[in-house]
Amino acid sequence: MTSRRILIVCSLALFACASTQKPSVSNPFLQKSSLPFHYPEFDKIHDSDYVPAFEAGMAEHLREVQAIAHAPSAPTFENTVVALEEAGRVLQRVQTVFSALSAANTDPEMQKIEAQMAPRLAAHRDEILLDPALFARVDSVYQKRAQSGLDPESTQLIERYEVQFVRAGAQLSQKDELRKINQELSSLTTKFRQNTLKATKENAVVVDAVQELDGLSREQIGAAAEAAKARKLEGKYVLALQNTTMQPSLRDLTNRAFRKRLFEASVSRSLGGDADNTSIVSRILSLRARKAALFGKQNWALYTLEEETAGTPGAVNKMLGELAPAAVAKAKKDGADLQAIIDSEAKAAGTQSFPLAPWDWEFYAQKLRRQRYNFDEAAVKPYFELNRVLQDGLFYAANQLYGISFRERRDLPVYQPDVRVFDVIDAGGSQLGLFIGDYYKRDNKQGGAWMNSYVSQSGLLGEKPVAANHLNIPKPPEGQPTLLTFDEVTTLFHEFGHALHGLFNKAKYPLLAGSAPRDWVEFPSQFNEMWARDPKVLAHFARHYQTGEAMPQALLEKVKSSQNFESGFKTMEYLEAAMLDQLWHQLPATEIPQEGGEVAAFDDVALQKAGVLFPPVPPRYHTAYFSHIFSSGYSAAYYAYIWSEVLARDSGQWFTQHGGMTRANGDAFRDKILSRGRTQEPEVLFENFYGGPPQIGPLLEYRGLSTSPKSER
């Protein structure tokens, strides 16, 4: 046993034995932050602090774990499982902050550190989860759990630990091969993410003459000028890319050739050049398939979905298959309507018509929206000013539902001047935690929108949450308002649903506070979107940014009635991406493309075979920049958004049937869903709240895809 311990320690020469960077006593990660709720000391954190803190954190964690694994006393819940929950605090602090800032505010040095540390952190994790002595103790507690007198939450914790160790490979004989796979995967997924960030920045469209931006509003042109200024391109304009295939400006740009240029800049990201991702995708898929095989699974989806609420690829395929026909039919019907506008305009102008292309869809959909609803997005944006949406929309809805309130504070350090921090006060006056809002797009910030926790709630550790939301809203010039599209308003509500899930958590143990299936994690966020449409909430925040006047009732009704206008497009682009994810990860290992060109060609071929290829509506993400599944933990699980939305719309129906936005309903949802973490399995939590299994009908109705008379009204 002694020799085994020496081997473990010395095999970590990369971490501790050969460490050359010792942390200074002033390193901010070596002790808890002295700020309220252990909020990170951003003003004291420097790039040079990370590696020494990682080194010290891993060495400390390993010492703590080895003491647990080789304790002389018999294994118990307290000396094994609870001890593991308490271990590794320094590593947890540095890893949490570094991971968050790598996404929100990276720089070249951080990217080097990320590439350096990714395989080392993977090896560290494996060294713990693949340790036979440690697993023997965990398994012993697990096998005796029924006789241990544990409360239900503690029983759930030991069951989750058993699953974690087994799924990490604790029972495998090929542990060395698994370690190599995990380390290479961690390096490749990091490289994929960095390449995507690089390509997204490099593929931004630089414009010399403002005339090319015809159709954009004054605010949009100002944001493009501001983006150019940030790149030291004075006098020019930059249309920075969002992470998705379709770009917001495609809705307004009148120059068709320029729309095509913008679209092609988006879809060509990471296809060739020094940020090419195609060969990385091939290698990631091959390694995932091999790892699945080690666990006796035919493909990565089978391995991954065991831990999701869906359970099997068959269940996912069935759900996506049920949605696809209605989405395809609606998208094609809408496409025909758009083509009719193109043909009509060409005839009136005496010019030749052209077939509807992806870069035309949003532009002509805007025209069709105006025809059907006399509704223009530009007329609505002045009523959606960011701060008012935040204060009188997000925070107001949360107060009405849960009794919480928010108080902005400016005494805490931030990593960017635009970042805002709020105290979160519970109904009884006690403070729940802190909320951070980081809303503007930057070149050093990954695309999309997300939530993360800088400090996770834990009864065991006495921690209260520090939750953060991140969006990528184009920043207007100094002194101009930040006016949002309704899609951006909905995204704000979505991400805030994640934040509420973290803020309300009451789980005792860290693992149960933070581990949930992907197809459950998105449930609270999808649910919270409904309040952006709620008449009471919408009327409260939809006020003109200059006059403060409420949005006219007629315009308000148009906003609400037009929400399902592009349901076919939105559902279709999502389904295509979700199906791509499954098609990639259900491939047998022998069919995974080995050449970059084959990877690049896969999307259209696979979607055609699946019966969902409709060229005017491209997938929300093409493979080469599909970060969710190749670098962000959603591999074989991108379907989670739609699966979770089934739960969310069922819950919305429950609220409607029980009186809508009331404190009683909000408190019930908070008590049975938002505060529970994974103290029970998700399907049990849902049925305890909803009163039965989920139904797909409310989702189809919400998206305007149902054929019921009610949905057609």
List pLDDT tens digits, range 170-225: 999 999 999 999 999 999 999 999 999 999 999 999 999 999 999 999 889 999 99
Spatial contact of 110 and 421, defined as CB atoms under 8 Å apart:
no
pLDDT for residue 707 = 56
The Cα–Cα gap between 319 and 314 comes to 9
**Whether residue 15 has pLDDT greater than 50:** no
Q: Is 60 a catalytic residue?
A: no
**Whether residue 23 has pLDDT greater than 80:** no
pLDDT for residue 459 = 94
**CATH number of the domain located at residue range(s) 2-129+131-168 in this protein:** 1.10.1370.40
Number of other residues whose CB lies within 10 A of the CB of residue 684: 11
Domain ranges of the chain: 2-129+131-168, 203-269, 275-282+296-375+567-638, 382-561+642-712
The Cα–Cα gap between 357 and 615 comes to 7
**Segment 239-277, tens digit of pLDDT:** 999 999 999 999 999 999 999 999 999 999 999 999 999
Spatial contact of 133 and 70, defined as CB atoms under 8 Å apart:
yes
pLDDT for residue 6 = 28
User: pLDDT exceeding 90 applies to what percent of the chain?
Assistant: 85
Q: How far is CA 359 from the centre of its chain?
A: 26
Angle at 541 between CA 535 and CA 546, to 5 degrees: 135
Measured between its terminal Cα atoms, the distance across the chain in Å is 73
User: Once rounded to an integer, what is the mean pLDDT over residues 609-630?
Assistant: 96
Residues 6+ away with beta carbon under 8 Å from 618 = 245, 246, 267, 358, 573, 576
Spatial contact of 299 and 585, defined as CB atoms under 8 Å apart:
yes
Q: Which of 171-185, 505-519, 691-705 has the highest mean pLDDT?
A: 171-185
Give me 390's structure tokens. 């935040």
**Whether residue 78 has pLDDT greater than 60:** yes
Orientation angle between helical segments 518-528 and 640-657, nearest 10 degrees: 40
User: Once rounded to an integer, what is the mean pLDDT over residues 446-465?
Assistant: 94
pLDDT for residue 119 = 96
**Whether residue 559 has pLDDT greater than 50:** yes
Closest CA to 253 of 268, 237, 269: 237
User: Once rounded to an integer, what is the mean pLDDT over residues 339-348?
Assistant: 97
User: Once rounded to an integer, what is the mean pLDDT over residues 629-635?
Assistant: 93
**Phi, psi dihedrals of residue 239, rounded to the nearest 5°:** -95, 95
> In this structure, is the dihedral angle defined by the CA atoms of residues 313, 319, 320 and 322, taken in order, positive or negative?
positive
Q: How confident is the model at residue 647 (pLDDT cuts 50, 70, 90)?
A: very high
The domain defined by 382-561+642-712 folds into Neurolysin; domain 3 (1.10.1370)
pLDDT for residue 18 = 36
The Cα–Cα gap between 526 and 395 comes to 17
Three-class SS of 636-649? CCCCHHHHHHHHHH
Closest CA to 56 of 85, 33, 24, 22: 22
Torsion of CA 229, 231, 237, 243, to 10 degrees: -130
**If you ran DSSP here, which 8-state letter would residue 231 be given?**
T
Enclosing H/E stretch for 64? helix 47-69
Spatial contact of 17 and 9, defined as CB atoms under 8 Å apart:
yes
The Cα–Cα gap between 565 and 576 comes to 19
| Residue 239, CA distances (Å) to 107, 202, 210, 621 in order | 21, 11, 12, 19
What average pLDDT does the chain have? Answer: 92
The domain defined by 275-282+296-375+567-638 folds into Neurolysin; domain 3 (1.10.1370)
pLDDT for residue 673 = 97
pTM of this prediction?
A: 0.90
Sheet holding 420-425, edge to edge: 405-409, 420-425, 431-440, 466-473, 450-455
| Residue 241, CA distances (Å) to 238, 430, 448, 469, 628 in order | 9, 42, 10, 20, 17
The full DSSP string for 418-440 is T-EEEEEE-TTS-EEEEEEEEEE
The Cα–Cα gap between 169 and 388 comes to 50
Spatial contact of 217 and 378, defined as CB atoms under 8 Å apart:
yes
The full DSSP string for 339-402 is HHHHHHHHHHHT-------HHHHHHHHHHHHHHHH---HHHHGGG-BHHHHIIIIIHHHHHHHH
Length in residues, the chain: 713
pLDDT for residue 93 = 97
> 495, 529, 573, 576: which is the annotated catalytic residue?
495
One-letter amino acid identity for 692? G
pLDDT for residue 12 = 32
The full DSSP string for 630-682 is HTSS-TTTTTHHHHHHHHHHHHHHHHHHTTSS-HHHHHHHIIIIIT-TTSS-H
Q: How confident is the model at residue 562 (pLDDT cuts 50, 70, 90)?
A: confident
The Cα–Cα gap between 713 and 702 comes to 12
Domains 275-282+296-375+567-638 and 382-561+642-712 share a fold: yes
